Structure 1
Amino acid sequence: MKILGICSSPREKSNTHLALPISMEEAKKEIEGTEIILLGKKTINQCVEGNCSVNNDAEEIFQIWN
């Protein structure tokens, strides 16, 4: 089992941004394979006209998710 922690806050010092690493450290004690994604630092654009050839960070996130 893996745990993926996703923080969508754009602010680096938000409560969510500070709490997520602490939670993930606790999870590491029980589960191998934890990872954090900080969406505030990613560029994610929508697909245009059904053709998802947009070059952004979404593909990296999909690879981690799967």
Structure 2
Amino acid sequence: MDADGAVVGVLTSGTFSPTLQAGIGLALLDPAYKPGADVGVRVRNRVEPFTVEKAPLVQPHVRAQ
């Protein structure tokens, strides 16, 4: 969702990343939303703030602690 509550994409999957210690997800978004853009994701009837990032989210040499 954008700041006005309009739907801008569809979340295809989501989980908790033990390496990043945060929730992550993959989404199909409107191409206007570039890395760094803030969006809202509806999670169980509430909207959580997320930031658009380009994959990969973790560099290959990084290991979980």
> Which TM class, normalised by the smaller chain length?
under 0.3
The higher relative CO (CA closer than 8 Å, separation ≥ 6) is in 1
Larger fraction in strand: 2
Larger Rg: 1
Higher percent of residues as helix: 1
TM-score (norm 2): 0.24
